[in-house]
Structure formats: structure tokens, C-alpha cells
Amino acid sequence: MDYEDALIDIRDNSPSPSLSTVGVQEASRVPTPVPPPPTPPPRHPFYYIDDDMAIICVEEQLFKVHKYFLIRESELFQGMFGLPPGDSMTAEGRDDHHPIVLKQVLAREFESLLRFLYHGMFDDCGVTLPQWIDILSISTFWACDKLRARAIKEIHDHRPRIDPVEKVVLAVKYFVPEWLAPSYAAVCQRALPINSVEGHKLGLEKTILLARAREAVRQDHVAREQRHAQGAGGRGNVRQNLNSRTTASPAPPEPEPLPSTASCWGEWKGLTVPPPEDPFDAERVAEIVHEVFQAPEEAGAN
């Protein structure tokens, strides 16, 4: 018997598998169903935070920050990060070779913003006056309304006070009109006239109007003093003389603000000034400022 005949004989004499054996084998091949995973708890509507990172380039310097803070504070970033991501290999902000490039922003301003966003809750954050000005600039540009309001308050409350001329410049540049009238009044009250550097910052029209207001404040003060001296010197009855010397009680001074836990107050050369002396009647100065500056606005409106 050769090799092939032996194989045939072995095959013919081998027992055939029973139906029961086949059924068991087939049943063993059926996968066991996997139970579904348990349903997770619901996500908190505010504090289930997406902590994806974004790589941003400002003035040829890379920053890697959490998207969450930028989306929370800025309508611009809300729209930017809400766009479809595109190709995952080349999408902006994913790696150092494809950063999100921010133009018209200084790296110093962006750093000041991040300092407050990441550390503003701590007492030793120490945001300085120049850094608050940076935050005002970048929050205005990126429509970060809450940060902008905070920066406006911190700059206004800072002690020593910011130079009124600088405050006028900031008010015009960053659209803070409520700073203008008090700053004009402070320039009118101070002893020093407007110098050439300040005139360049303010522009010709504002410099001329401020010079006119300063002169009007001083003329009004001299006229009031002369009327007071004439009334006290002589003609008229005693009641008139007493009335001429009677002045309205000054309004109580506003309470001085205290530094917030995020701010670091201090003197800054060329940016802050000593406490004002206010030698003139504050209400009358405010009236004169309004009269001088209101006329050009009404003429422009017409």
C-alpha cells in the first residue's frame, strides 16, 4: 500500500462528526453580546470646560494658551474658534508651524492680558498701571467687554492719579468718553500750562480749546474775587455784605478708592501725577469746560 492509499483508508475509516457535535461548535462561534456602557452623569452647563490649547503667534513670538479663556472673554475668538477646523494636519493653532497669527496687537499687550486671565484671582497678581492700559487696548480691539470695563475702572481708580493729558489721549483712542470732561477740568485746575509735547499728543483743536478753558477759569476766578472784595468793602447794608461773603458749602469729597486685589499701585514717571490742588471752584470749572467744549460739538453736529 502506497502513501496515497493509506491516506484514503484513514479518511474512510474515520468517524463522521455527529449533528450534536456540529451544533456545539457552531454555538461556540456566536459572539457573546457586550452590555452597553453605563450612561454618564449629565455635563454641567458652565463648568464642563473644553481645555483644548491654541498656539498663537504675536510679533513673531509663540504663546500656547487655553481656548476657554479667550472664547469666554472675546466675541472675536468665539467666532474664530467656532469655524470648522479644516484639515487637521494644517489647521491654524494646532502646532508651532501653523499658529494663529494675531496682527495689530503687541506681544506686551497679549502678555498683560494673559497675566490677568491666568493670575487675576490671586492677591499677589500685581497688575500695574501700564499693564491695565495694555489690557484696555487689547480688550477694546477684541471686544472683551467685561475685561474692558474692569480695565477702565482700574485705570480710573489708580493712585497716584494718571496724568489728565494721558487720560484724555486714552479716552479718545479707546472710546471712553466719560473720562474727557473730568480730565479737561483737571488740566484747567493745574498750575502748569500745556507744553509742546502734550499739545502734540492732544492735537491742535483740543490744545486750543483747553487753553481757552484754562484762561476762562482764571478770568472767572479773578472776577469772582473782585466782586467779593467790592461787596465786603463797603456800600450796601450789612445783610448784603454778609450775603456776599456767604458761599455754598463744598460738597463732601468722594471717598478715596482702595486698590483691588489684582492691582499694584505705584508712581510711574510720565504717567502719574501728584494729588491735585484744585485751587478753583470745581463746579464752576466743570461749567466752563462744558461751555467751551460743547460749542464745537454742537457746531459739528449742525
CATH number (domain holding residue 153): 3.30.710.10
Q: Please indicate, yes or no, whether residues 216 and 128 belong to a single structural domain of this protein.
A: no
Residues 295, 188, single domain; the answer is yes
56-65, 197-206, 270-279: range with lowest mean pLDDT? 270-279
The secondary structure of 96-152 as a DSSP string is: TTSPEEE-S--HHHHHHHHHHHHHTTSTT--B-HHHHHHHHHHHHHTT-HHHHHHHH
Q: For residues 73 and 95, is the Cβ–Cβ distance under 8 A?
A: no
**Which residues are within 8 A (CB) of 275 and not within 5 positions of it... i.e. 6 or more apart?**
160, 161
Range of the domain at 93: 53-157
Residues 142 and 189 in one domain: no
Residue that terminates a domain, selected from 106, 123, 157:
157
User: Is residue 286 scored above 90 in pLDDT?
Assistant: yes
The share of the chain scoring above pLDDT 70, in percent, equals 76
Co-location of 102 and 209 in the same domain: no
State whether 126 and 223 are in the same domain: no
Residues 66 and 112 in one domain: yes
Give the model's pLDDT for residue 142.
92
Shared domain check, 235 and 193: yes
- According to the model, what pLDDT value does residue 255 have? 73
Residue 64: inside a domain, yes or no? yes
Residues 161, 271: Cα–Cα separation, whole Å: 9
In a domain, 40, yes or no: no
The string of pLDDT tens digits covering residues 62-96 is 999 999 999 989 988 888 888 776 655 557 888 99
Residue 170 included in any domain: no
Query: Is residue 206 domain-resident?
Result: yes
Task: Look at residue 237 and tell me whether its pLDDT is greater than 80.
Answer: no
Residues 204 and 289 in one domain: yes
Is the confidence at residue 295, as pLDDT, over 80? no
- pLDDT band with cut points at 50, 70 and 90 for residue 264: confident
Q: Are residues 129 and 218 in the same domain?
A: no
Is the same domain home to 149 and 205? Answer: no
Q: Tens digits of per-residue pLDDT, 9-67?
A: 655 565 555 555 555 555 556 678 888 889 989 988 888 887 789 999 999 999 999 99
Task: State residue 224's pLDDT score.
Answer: 87
Q: Is residue 59 part of a domain?
A: yes
In a domain, residue 61? The reply is yes
Comparing 184 with 1, the larger pLDDT belongs to 184
Assess if residue 45 is contained within a domain. no
Average pLDDT over residues 179-191: 95
Task: Among 157, 190, 217, identify where a domain stops.
Answer: 157
Statement to judge: residues 135 and 188 lie in one domain = no
Residue 256 lies in a domain: no
Where a domain ends, among 157, 172, 197?
157
Within this chain, do residues 204 and 152 fall inside the same structural domain, yes or no?
Answer: no
Count up the domains in the chain and report the number. 2
pTM for the whole structure = 0.75
